[in-house]
Each structure stands twice: as structure tokens, then as C-alpha cells.
A and B are shown apart, each in its own frame.
Chain A
Amino acid sequence: MLILLRTQSEVRLRTVTRLLAAQLVAQPKQAFSTTTSEHYDIIIGGGGLVGTTLAAAVAKNKTLADKKVLLLEGAPEFKGFDGKGPYHNRVSAINSNSIQLFKAIDAWSHIEASRYKPVKQMQVWESNSDALIQFQHENFANGVACIIENDLILDAVYARVKEACNVKVLNRARIESVRLPQDSGCSNSEVTLQDGRQFTCELLVGADGANSVVRKQMGVDVFSLNYERMGLVATLELSDDAGDNAVAWQRFLPTGPVALLPLSEKESSLVWSTTVSHAKELQAMPPEQFVEVLNEAFCRQYPRVDLADKAVQALNAFFGHTSAQHHRQYPPRVCNVKERSRATFPLGFLHASSYVCRGAALVGDAAHRVHPLAGQGVNLGFSDVRYLVESLASGAYAGFKLGDKQHLVKYEQKCLTKNVPIMIGVHGLHTLYSTDFSPVVLLRSLGLQLTQNLPPIKNLFMKQAMG
């Protein structure tokens, strides 16, 4: 026993000397980092919709309640949201999965108390044939999605974040560089801001968008495509024939889809994906001309593929529908575009080969970016948030470190299972509808019409897209 004790103390002594030696060698750096870096359990890089929601969700989770969270946002402090003011041009179609998340973090009541528009039905049709599909729940019992302004969502989740005592928000905080355990050999991740402040954390979450700094440091492969298209958004005023304006409209034009998302009885939001030059042209047009071009886009007759039209008719006949039963609705007329509401943004496809590594994880656009044609982008981000918080909570409750890859991998598996089919689907639709080559038009028209006529398949798609 004595011998044992002696060996033990010897070991300790040796370790101490070694540690001292190591400290002496690395002293300048050590001294620097110990005086300036602050430690958090989780640092979220990026205070956008997804990053802020993640902070709120972590704060709300009982198991993670004792974790210190730092939210880094490059922009100045969020100004808040005015529910009485004009509608913002950046809106999102939020599916029921995301609404459940908002309910779980107590942010939904905040949104409900302000303004949002439930969509009862969606109609999607194309320009080269008669094919058409309509999505709705039986008897319009439930909305298929809600159109909510991005700033309202942000306002709601910020309110929850501000209540939380374990979350700190740092504005005007731009990440200069990141060091992960795989590079440094330390057990923590390190973040340095552009103003020189340093932080360490067990888990760094990259919610910093498509050009994520965190992702670059993780060294994961990224599959990305530039669609050479731009999205144009605007807030529109509708003429009096809009009714209750509860339908979302999307028409695939040869240049890309144009969509009207209802905001209120008299207003809708526009998302128009088109070629870069066309988008610039549309943005620069005088309002009257823009409205005219837009109205024309929804009803203009394009060169048609007769064979596809006949096939669609035959298919409808086969299912016992006459074309009269299958009447197409037309969107309400747009009568004005709100001043300075037109804005453009580039469209692309991006998917990271891996969402996690030791000490870091990606959420939202940092991990995946899709075409807005199915309104999936931000919903996939919110589903990432759900999965990440679930995995972190069950991992922490099993004694894992937050940055341990072993339980982070479970987050990645859940995300990939959900995200990849949707992303492939959305990318596929984009590709399918960017051509007017007759055989493709024929096939896509048949496919769309078949889906419209076969409720089980249609419901499957709806379930996927609407959470």
C-alpha cells in the first residue's frame, strides 16, 4: 500500500512537472487566452431565424437549462417588429412542424397575437400544358401552411431569448476565425471575433448561413450549384376580387416559378424566380409596368405541348373527371406594388457532406440551401433545430459532452433522413420545370396530374412538405 502511494505521488509529481514545463513553453499564448477568453457551453454563430430559434429552444429545454449559451450576431441589435406597420417583403411559409416548434418554445402565442395568414389551399400549375395540382386538407379543415413575416418570427423568438437567464446575445459580433478540437487538440472549440474578443465552448453551432465560417473550418465537403437565377420578392396590393385571399399560387414559367403568398385579404407577397437579367429588369421597372408584367405572368399563354395536353385530358377522363370538374382557378389581380418592397437575392443549391464534427455542428442554411419553390428552406432549418435540441438533451442526459461526436452523429442521421429526400425533390422539380422540351413537359404533366388524381400519393407529398 505504501509502495502504491509512493508510486502514485511520484506519478503526480511527474505530471505536475510536465504540466509546469508545458506551461512555461506555451506561456505567452496561455497567458493571453486565459485572460481574454470567456467560456460557454454552447456558442451559436449567427442570430438569424434558425440561430435565434435554436437559442430559444435550448433555453426552454429542461435538461439543457443549466447550459450557458452565447448567441453571436453580426448585425446591430434587432429593432423589433411593428404589427401595425406595412408588411415586410421577406416572408416565410411556415409548415405545421415548425409551428409545433414555436408552440413548444412559447413563441407561437406572440405570433398569433400579431398577424399571420393561414393558407387553406395551394394551386400549382404550369405554362406548357394543362397539368395542375391543388393541395388542401379535407374540407379545408386545417391550413396547409402559414405565411409569416420573418421579422415577426425573429421578434417572437428574441422575446423568449431575452427572458432566458442562461442565454447571452452579442450583437455586432462577427466571427473572424474558429479553431476546432480536431485542429487544436484541445477539448474545446475556440472562436475569435473580428474585434479580437475570444470565446471557448464545448459546442459551436454554425447557424451562419450559406457562406458559413464554421463550415469552412470543419473541413466538410460541400456540394453546391449556382442556379444562375435570382429570386425577386415584393409586397403586392390586390384588387377587390381577392375574396378571403387564402390560396397560395404558383405557376411554373419557362424561366422559373412565380408565386403569390397571401399576407392579408388585400395583400400578398411575391416570390418570383427568374433569370438574373430578367430579375434586374423587373426590379428596375416602374411600378405600373411591373404590375402589368406580373399579372400577365400568371395568365399568359405560352407555346403548348399538344400531346401533353391530350395526355392530361385522357388521364383525367380515366379517373372519371371531366375538365369542367377540374376547373382551374386564377389568382386575384395585382393592382399595385408597395414602394421599395422589391428586392432580389441569388438562388442556389448547397448541401454539406457532414453536419457535425467534434465540437461543432451546422444548422439551417449553413448545412443546406434549396430553391424557394416549395417553401422548404427555413422549415428544414427549424427541423434541424428540433433534432439538434433533442439530440443534445438526450446526449447530455446520458453524460456525453455537448461536443461529443458520438451523439452529434445521431442529430446528423435524423437530419439527413429528413432533409435529403426533400432537397432532392425540390432540386428535381426545379430541373424538371426549367425546360420546355416536349417529352419532359409530357412526363412532368402526367406526373403532376397523376399525383393530383391519386390522393394517397398526393397526401404523401403533402406530409413531406408540410411536416
Chain B
Amino acid sequence: MWRRTLLASRNLKATPVNVVVRKVSNAQQQYTTLENASEVKHHENLSKDWWNVNGPMAALHALNAIRVPFIRDGIISRGRVEAPYINTTNVLCKQQLLEVGCGGGILSEQLARLGATVIGLDPGEELIKAARKHLSDHSPELCARVEYKMESIAQHANSNCEHYDAVIVSEVLEHVDDKTALLEACVRTLKPGGSIFITTLNKTLPMWMGGVVLGEYLLNIAPIGTHHWNKLISPLDVQRILDTMDCHTVLINGSTYDFWSNTWRWINSSQMCYALQAVKQRISY
């Protein structure tokens, strides 16, 4: 159990973290990265390996096997997919998706392959470059439907109010200080009735002991300071924040990572990691 926790967090630390969010406290609308420069650099250094399925991003590639169906079925379950498209590889056509913190585009490309139009945001220049290069080299057929932008979500939200059918914040939240600001901007871009999908680590003792204490301080698997207790967030807190924005949580699934087989699976408990879907309510006057 501990080793699994530890491995899960080791692999999770290397996620698209460099989300630029608005500092709510700053009245002058100044944008700043919440990650320090070395953290951005760290992930940019990984950009060359981002698409190596056996490299440091292996766990993130493996996560696609459960997060893509989670997002796909979440969108279907809200009745937003016409019946003839269900069970076809064009199931997400006509869906406008936004991925916040897309990194090298592992998730964006795969969602686009189901017919969706995807905008990926990430502040890491090297990552955006890697994402664009992979797209044009390996998936040219998706070029028309995928666009990567080096832009902050707050900026993006200003010009894309109520534009998206779904917003995806996958393995990002645990690296962001001001989660409320991030989520607020995300929800702003959502059409009423659209869904926000979040995957992240839970704020629990097993997760913290395994991921932070063992993984970082005792075994040095991850550099000290990659994860902080106060940056982790429980599903209940996410739910509470989203509730204040008229976003009702409809689904929370617990998941865990088996390092020996590099696979993720759903479990009955959200103690380790979790995936959450919330739906933006239509405002009725």
C-alpha cells in the first residue's frame, strides 16, 4: 500500500503543473505563475521525454486509459451526445473542450481523436512546443481540431466566456495555490449545463505519508518540496468551492496506480486519487 502510494505520487509530481492563475488579491489584474521558476524549468526539461510512453511520463500516459472514458462517459451521461454518435469513435464531435495545464498534449490529442475540438493551455513554452510538434509530426489528422496556447486560464476566460462544453483540469490542482481562482476561471468558460472534470491527489494521511514523507524526505524519489500538504485538496473541498460557483458535483470516483503494471484502476475509496465531475447549473430567473 505504501509503496503504491509512493510510486503514484512520484509519477504524479511530473504533471502539467505550470498553470498561470490570476492572483485574486491583486486588484491590478496582474498575472503571475504560482509555480516558481525552477518548477517550470523542471517540467520544461521533461518536454523531450513527454511523449515517451516508457519515460518519466509513463504514469500519465497510463492514466489516459481511465480518464478519457471518465470524461467521455461523463459528457454522454449529461445527455450532450446524440444517440447515433454513441459507441463510435466520433462520440465527442461537436464538443468544444478546454484542457487547462495540457503539458505535452497527452490528453488533448486523445480527446480530439474522439472527434472533439480541444484547446490546450499551458504556460511552459517548451511544453507547448513539444505538444505542437507531436501534433504535427504524429497526429496531423488532428491539427484542425487541436490548438495549444501559451496563455493563462484567467486571460483565456475573459475572452471565452461560456464557450466550452467541458473543461478538464487533470493532475493540475495539486500544484496550484489559489484553487478557487483557477476553478472560478474554468467555470466561467463553461456553457451552462457543461461539465468540469478534475483529477488530482486527495488530501489524506495515506497519500501524504506515502507521497510526501516517504517519497520525498526518506527515499528521495521526488525532490523535497514537490508536493505540499497544504496544496493537496480533498474532494469535499473541491465540491464546496464548485458549489459556490453554481457547479454541482455529480460524480467522484476514487482511483489508484499500480506501479508494477503501470496501470490505473478505479477503487471504492477516494483516499488516494480521485476524479470528479461537476455540472454548471443553468441559471433560472
Chain A contacts to B: CB under 8 angstroms: 4, 7-8, 11, 15, 62-66, 187, 396-401, 405-407
Contacts of A405 in B (CB 8 A): 53
Contacts of B65 in A (CB 8 A): 398, 406-407
Q: Given contacts A4-B150, A399-B64, A406-B62, are A66 and B129 in contact (CB under 8 A)?
A: no
Partner of B111, one of A4, A399, A401: A399
22 contacts between A and B (CB under 8 A): A4-B150, A7-B125, A11-B132, A15-B133, A15-B136, A62-B87, A63-B88, A63-B89, A66-B88, A66-B89, A187-B137, A187-B138, A396-B89, A397-B87, A397-B89, A398-B72, A399-B68, A399-B72, A399-B111, A399-B113, A405-B53, A406-B53
**Which 3 residue pairs spanning A and B have beta carbons closest together?**
A399-B110, A399-B113, A398-B68
For B107, give the chain A residue with the smallest CB separation.
A399
For B137, give the chain A residue with the smallest CB separation.
A187
Are A397 and B133 closer than 8 Å at their CB atoms? no
Are A63 and B87 closer than 8 Å at their CB atoms? yes
Are A66 and B87 closer than 8 Å at their CB atoms? no
Contacts of A66 in B (CB 8 A): 88-90
Contacts of A11 in B (CB 8 A): 129, 132
Q: Does B61 sit at the interface, judged by CB under 8 A?
A: yes
Please indicate which of the listed interface residues A7, A64, A406, A407 has the most CB atoms of chain B within 10 Å of its own CB.
A406
Docked complex Cα distance between A397 and B76 (Å): 13
Contacts of B133 in A (CB 8 A): 15
Are A406 and B113 closer than 8 Å at their CB atoms? no
Contacts of A15 in B (CB 8 A): 132-133, 136
Docked complex Cα distance between A358 and B68 (Å): 20
Docked complex Cα distance between A4 and B136 (Å): 20
Quote the shortest CB–CB distance from B197 to chain A (angstroms): 14
Are A401 and B64 closer than 8 Å at their CB atoms? no
Docked complex Cα distance between A451 and B285 (Å): 74
Q: Does B181 sit at the interface, judged by CB under 8 A?
A: no
Q: Does B69 sit at the interface, judged by CB under 8 A?
A: yes
Quote the shortest CB–CB distance from A307 to chain B (angstroms): 48
Contacts of B62 in A (CB 8 A): 406
Q: Does B279 sit at the interface, judged by CB under 8 A?
A: no
- How many B residues face the partner with a CB closer than 8 A? 29
Docked complex Cα distance between A187 and B113 (Å): 15
Docked complex Cα distance between A63 and B111 (Å): 16
For A394, give the chain B residue with the smallest CB separation.
B69
Contacts of A398 in B (CB 8 A): 64-65, 68-69, 72, 110, 114
For B148, give the chain A residue with the smallest CB separation.
A8
Docked complex Cα distance between A401 and B137 (Å): 14
Secondary structure type dominating chain B contacts: helix
Q: Given contacts A62-B87, A63-B89, are A399 and B136 in contact (CB under 8 A)?
A: no
Please indicate which of the listed interface residues A4, A7, A15, A399 has the most CB atoms of chain B within 10 Å of its own CB.
A399
Docked complex Cα distance between A57 and B72 (Å): 25
Quote the shortest CB–CB distance from A185 to chain B (angstroms): 10
Q: Given contacts A11-B132, A15-B136, are A401 and B88 in contact (CB under 8 A)?
A: no
Quote the shortest CB–CB distance from B181 to chain A (angstroms): 21
Docked complex Cα distance between A407 and B262 (Å): 12
Are A399 and B114 closer than 8 Å at their CB atoms? yes
Are B91 and A397 closer than 8 Å at their CB atoms? yes
Quote the shortest CB–CB distance from A367 to chain B (angstroms): 21
Contacts of B110 in A (CB 8 A): 398-400
Contacts of B125 in A (CB 8 A): 7
Please indicate which of the listed interface residues B62, B64, B89, B113 has the most CB atoms of chain A within 10 Å of its own CB.
B89
Are A62 and B68 closer than 8 Å at their CB atoms? no
Contacts of A396 in B (CB 8 A): 89
B119-133 toward A: CB 8 Å interface, digit per residue (1/0)? 000000100010011
Contacts of A8 in B (CB 8 A): 150
Are B61 and A397 closer than 8 Å at their CB atoms? no
For A402, give the chain B residue with the smallest CB separation.
B89
Please indicate which of the listed interface residues A7, A8, A15, A398 has the most CB atoms of chain B within 10 Å of its own CB.
A398
For B115, give the chain A residue with the smallest CB separation.
A399
Docked complex Cα distance between A187 and B53 (Å): 13
Quote the shortest CB–CB distance from A144 to chain B (angstroms): 35
Docked complex Cα distance between A63 and B115 (Å): 13
8 A Cβ contacts from B202-217 to A: none
Contacts of B53 in A (CB 8 A): 405-406
Partner of A401, one of B87, B113, B129: B113
Contacts of B138 in A (CB 8 A): 187
Docked complex Cα distance between A399 and B62 (Å): 13
For B89, give the chain A residue with the smallest CB separation.
A396
Quote the shortest CB–CB distance from B249 to chain A (angstroms): 23
Docked complex Cα distance between A7 and B129 (Å): 11
Contacts of B129 in A (CB 8 A): 11
Contacts of B89 in A (CB 8 A): 63-64, 66, 396-397, 399
Q: Given contacts A401-B113, A406-B62, are A65 and B88 in contact (CB under 8 A)?
A: yes
Docked complex Cα distance between A4 and B155 (Å): 13
Docked complex Cα distance between A64 and B111 (Å): 17
Quote the shortest CB–CB distance from B69 to chain A (angstroms): 5
Q: Given contacts A11-B129, A397-B72, A398-B72, are A62 and B136 in contact (CB under 8 A)?
A: no
Docked complex Cα distance between A15 and B131 (Å): 13
8 A Cβ contacts from B57-99 to A: 61-62, 64-65, 68-69, 72, 87-91
Quote the shortest CB–CB distance from A321 to chain B (angstroms): 48
